[in-house]
Chains A and B, each alone.
Chain A
Amino acid sequence: MAVIRDVMPAFELFQPATVDETLGLLERHGADAWIMAGGLDTFDWLKDRIKRPSVVVDLSQMQELRGIREAGGRLEIGALTTLTEVAEHPLVRMQFGLLAQAAELVASPQIRNQGTLGGNVSQDTRCWYYRSGWSCYRAGGNICYADSPTAINREHAILGASRCVAVSPSDTAPALIALGAEFVLRSGAGERVVAAEDYFVGPEIDITRMTARRPDELLTTIRVPAAFAGAQFYFEKVRDRQVWDFPLVNVASAMRLSGGTIQQIRLAVGAVAPRPLRLTEVELAVTGQPRNEQTAAMAGELATVGAVPLRHNGYKILLMQNLVKRAVRGGPLRGDGA
């Protein structure tokens, strides 16, 4: 059978208006159904005829999953809220600027107008070998094309790889982890809530999926607790181009200071591992330390312990170190420098 790409095949389209209807469809069609939110990841797969669901469940009609509400200091963000809405919402900007910054740096304005927060955290990796539709580990096969003696893996993982070396591409994920967000998942069987960092799974656990979401589950809400409201935030994303580009490395931190001392911190890094990494050890090490260059440098060093570079991505170690440093320091090195 010959292969053709970039032409969307036919499928049955459902546009349910309510969560219950959606769950019913997911239950009925099981693994044959594909959930579509903004479609920016979805359409790539469909157009390339690599993922061939017979049923597409388009969530665009579900008003109940749109919008941002405040409930007792915490935010409830509907999974279908667009990234633009997230980035521009006054509550997000005022209290959880970290998330606004992250959302604002995703892709391009067009994509942010269409892409949803739920889709952004649930999106698949962009490993170009995997995206080419070959039977790599992630596609159910038994080979990783990205980690071979000749592979081009500049954008791949330095940490947490297990057979598969693809990275988590999301910009909002590290921010949500740093904020201690929770993801609400619903299925016919009921509701469960998982911590942001547990929503993402690495290949060592499940090599064909990026998240802990089961196929019959719908991500309905993202809850951002009040814990870090108005804290000191830092987000930075390094990419090749200033728009339309996924992160090479991104970093998110939420910090509370008392005097010059770091009292509490949550720190997460994206695009260095198959899942966004929360840097618990760094958090522990810097908590109680003064926020200064020395602590920042120590954090940077510690962050990449155990990193294994591939042929073309050694720079990610330096980059991750420097970004973690900046997250702790609160910005680029200023002044006259050395």
Chain B
Amino acid sequence: MAEHRFIGQNYTTPDLVAKVTGKAKYAEDFRAEGMLFAKLLLSPMPHARVSRIDTSAALALPGVRAILTADDMPEPADSVDDTGRVIRANRRAERALTNEPLYEGEPILAVAADDELTAAEAVERIQIEFEPLPFAVDPLVSLRPGGPAARTEGNVWFRPPTPPAEPSQPPPPQPPIDVRDLKWTAEQFAEADEGRLPMGEVLDEWEYGDLEAGFTQAALVLDETFVTSNTSHQPMETRTSMAYWQNGRVYVHCSTQSVVQTVAAVSRWLGIPQTDIVVVSEYTGGGFGSKITSAISLVIPALLSKKANAPVMMRLTREEEQYVGRSRPSLHARIKAGFSKEGRLLALDFFGISESGPYEGGQDHNTSGRIVSLLYQPVAMRFRGLGVMSNTPPRGPQRAPGGAQGVAVMEPVLAKAADRLGIDQVAIHRINAPEGKAPIGGPLPQGGRAHVTSAFVKEALDKGRELFKWEERKARSGQRTGSSVRGIGVAVSAYSAGSIGFDGLFVIKPDGKVYIQSGIGNHGTESVIDVHRVVAEVLDVSWEKCEITWGNTGKHMPWTCVSGGSQTAHAMTRAAHATAMDARTKLQEIAAKTLGGSPASYRVAGERVSGPGGSLTLAQAAQKAIELGGKYDGHGAPENINAFTKRSVAALAGQGLLAVARDTYPRDGISNSYVAGFAEVEVDLETGQYRVLDYLAVADVGTVLHPRSVGGQIMGGSLQGIGHAMTQKWVYDQQYGVPLAKRFYQTRPATILDAPARMEWAAVDIPDPETPVGVRGVGEPPVGAGLAAVANAVADAVGHDVFRRFPVTCDVVLTSLANGRRVTDPLTANI
């Protein structure tokens, strides 16, 4: 598409007015007749066994209707994927309620009562006793010889080998992952005392190239330890859900990132068919990866509603959100990097430990390794990693999971190398930057390495250098005036940015309007609407004629990707494109059938289909489609679309021209997007405080679909990363294994006043060659760039031996400068 009418243009999304006027209905704004409220009883201990529960006093309280316990939880069931493969259920997986809590704050039981106050009083009246069990809130403590393990069975997940297939039998399903205990030796731990991350046995490992040779050739070899913090997602809307059952179907109003995919998730959690589930989520107050399909917060009211035989709403408090709302796992990393004298990364030995919480999530180190391999294109690289369980809240993907941590621990090494080698920071990034179909990750089983669809990181760096007036600022960086000193930093970041193979669905009705079904979640990114601009573009209809229905699977949605991994803009513009092409073909065929001539001789433009036999308006064509029936009005559907979409097609059939298609466009490579971040900071040497004066992010996200959304994502993601760099963290008491920072003001995500005084974004705006619209995702890569550009700028100002963990707070700066070296405890988790 050469000239774009909609793509790349700003517009006002149809959900905006409701949001800014308070009319938008979030999950907790819904009410149902006879609705009860639920409150949770949470575990007071990091690891324990419930030894006695006596609910009699609670049940005796007037207004208390039901109590749900772990015994009411359905057993995790095996499932079958789209290809018919059996996925064995992990019996150690998280359930909504438990009798063996694995972290302080894990829900034990839920009470439903007429109102929240009664429910809370009832929780207080429950007599409950726990038998404390050994616990670990620090991955290194857990790896020490004789150290405690987060679970009775051990501290790491592993996958037992698949038993060999019986002769003439299909191969047995892979066994589920299991837990075992892994310890390192005291000798391996000796290094810890010097502040270096010890390196013992790991379970995840790959390598390519000749590492030894790389280090031998290197002009500079650095060996650094860096630690990132656990950071909670803390969306503005805590995860509220309301559920009720009608005729065997469950209706859930919830706060989720992905509407259609939440049906699938609920089906897995509750063990009921997808056809018995309706998910309503029109507005979601942020998710950042923690609400990809919502989870236990939605299962509890659903099961409680069944038990109490009444609608149940559960509103999580801010404190509960801190517990069940997921978080990004910290990364303890040790990086040995060998650089040529030009700054080329010849050899990288990357070692990382994720503190992965008590359940399956949080294996972010793997992605860290992949992203690092992509971003800095090391000539030879070894990756070693391990997820170590801890008795802290479950981890989940958080905006660039693994990517942001990988960038955070690598970038200071790059900046230090530039400093030691006397190379410019931008230059060292440029010389190592991925280009075109750059390789990513370790060797594939079939040999070779995977590659990305495209990368224009050099272009982003060049654009940024110019826009940021890098050279000008460089001249004054490091100069001290009084107690203040400035520094500049650059960092690059990458993240997965697109999946393929989903469906699109819309109906052109006889009123001439295009009714688009959007199964995407509305969690602030606007992709729920934005991707459908492609339909208007391809069909050349005015945007005012497009009506978008979203947020309710009862309203017949197409099978849609999860909104996670920045895949939506890519995946769903492809689906939208495919569907618009389906509509175009159908319009052409209808025109040919009605007006004569070949379909190919008709053109769809200006809200008409015109050709040799004259033209039809969209309204007329829609009417014709109904008359023609079959595939034209949805009475027939293509085979390759998902069963979910097929049901929606059937429900919408006969209303007009029904367009439906699955994205089957080819793609060579894995889609990733990139950001180059540029920061200037001013450090106050007397207080250790610093401020980000200026920040610029230049994005390589393919074609810019909707500038304001892209800008919003870049700015928001950058600020989230800047918060990781400056202030945000978890704090755990080691003696009792309980969190001390539980509220917003204690966990310290960045605030608007911490935002750089000036903040701008730009995009290289080069279409990705492997997708029809050229669009890649944008949500995630800004985080790492924001985080690391600020860190590099601080190092540029005060030296590279000031910090070795994030966030870099004033105490770290002040004490390091006073001591002339890094003094903060580098390895203890969650301090």
Contacts and interface: CB of A to CB of B under 8 A. Distances in A.
Given A152-B733, A240-B727, A315-B815, A3 B124 contact: yes
Interface string A140-153: 00000100101110
A4 B811 contact: no
B745 A244 contact: yes
Interface string A1-20: 11111111110000000000
A281 interface: no
Contact of A1 (B40, B124, B319, B740): B124
Contact of A10 (B117, B744, B745, B831): B117
Interface string B795-827: 000000000000001111011001000000000
B738 A132 contact: yes
B126 interface: yes
Given A7-B116, A152-B733, A319 B814 contact: yes
A150 B809 contact: no
Contacts, number: 139
A335 interface: yes
A326 B733 contact: no
Given A2-B128, A7-B117, A9-B117, A241 B481 contact: no
Contact of B754 (A241, A325, A335): A241
Given A9-B121, A242-B751, A336-B481, A319 B687 contact: yes
Interface string B348-369: 0000000000000000000000
Given A2-B123, A4-B120, A243-B752, A312 B831 contact: yes
Given A242-B754, A335-B481, A315 B733 contact: no
B734 interface: yes
A325 B687 CA distance: 11
Between B39, B745, B809, the greatest number of chain A beta carbons within 10 A of the residue's beta carbon is seen for: B745
A6 B316 CA distance: 10
B6 to A, nearest CB: 38
Interface in A39-68: 49
A155 to B, nearest CB: 10
Contacts of A4: 39-42, 120, 123-124
B128 A337 contact: no
A332 B685 CA distance: 9
A244 B744 contact: yes
B320 A150 contact: no
Contact of B734 (A1, A2, A150, A314): A150
Given A2-B126, A312-B831, A240 B748 contact: yes
B831 A243 contact: no
A333 B482 contact: yes
Interface in A47-92: 49
Interface residues of A, number: 47
B738 A128 contact: no
Contacts of A129: 733, 740
Interface in B694-739: 726-727, 731-735, 738
Contacts of B481: 334-337
Nearest to B735: A150
Interface residues of B, number: 58
Contacts of B126: 1-2
A220 interface: no
A241 B753 contact: yes
A227 interface: no
B319 A152 contact: no
A172 interface: no
B117 A319 contact: no
Interface in B20-62: 39-42, 44
A334 B686 contact: no
A248 interface: yes
A322 B686 contact: yes
A69 to B, nearest CB: 33
Contacts of A32: none
B750 interface: yes
B125 interface: yes
A150 B317 contact: no
Given A2-B126, A248-B810, A326-B686, A241 B750 contact: yes
B664 interface: no
A315 B810 CA distance: 9
Contacts of A8: 117
Given A241-B751, A243-B753, A128 B740 contact: yes
Contacts of B831: 152, 154, 312
A7 B39 contact: yes
A206 interface: no
Given A2-B128, A241-B727, A241-B751, A154 B811 contact: yes
Contacts of B727: 240-241
Contacts of B274: none
B684 interface: yes
B133 interface: no
A245 interface: yes
Contacts of A3: 44, 124
Contacts of A322: 686-687
A318 interface: yes
B437 interface: no
B746 interface: yes
A323 interface: yes
A307 interface: no
Contact of A145 (B42, B733, B814): B733
Contacts of B116: 7
Contacts of A145: 733, 735
Contacts of B748: 240-241, 245
Contact of B745 (A154, A245, A313): A245
B401 interface: no
B809 A332 contact: no
A242 B317 CA distance: 25
B480 A337 contact: yes
Nearest to A314: B815
A238 interface: yes
B489 interface: no
Interface string A106-144: 001000000000000000000011001000000000000
Contacts of B483: 332-334, 337
B245 to A, nearest CB: 26
Nearest to A10: B117
B687 A334 contact: no
Nearest to B485: A337
Interface in B143-164: none
A41 to B, nearest CB: 12
Contacts of A332: 482-484, 684, 686
Given A2-B41, A128-B731, A315-B811, A238 B689 contact: yes
A235 B726 CA distance: 24
A1 B686 contact: no
Nearest to B127: A1
A151 B688 CA distance: 23
Contacts of A151: 733, 735
B741 interface: yes
Interface string A150-168: 1110100000000000000
Nearest to A338: B480
Nearest to B746: A128
Contacts of B39: 4, 7
Given A4-B120, A152-B731, A325 B482 contact: no
Contacts of A245: 745, 748
Lowest 8 CB-CB distances: which A-B pairs, in order? A6-B317, A315-B811, A242-B753, A334-B482, A7-B120, A333-B483, A150-B734, A322-B686
Given A323-B687, A333-B686, 10 more contacts: A4-B41, A4-B124, A5-B319, A6-B319, A9-B117, A128-B740, A148-B735, A315-B815, A323-B686, A332-B484
Interface of A: 1-10, 49, 108, 128-129, 132, 145, 148, 150-152, 154, 238, 240-246, 248, 312-316, 318-319, 322-323, 325-326, 332-337
10 contacts: A1-B126, A4-B39, A4-B123, A5-B319, A132-B740, A238-B687, A312-B811, A312-B831, A315-B812, A332-B482
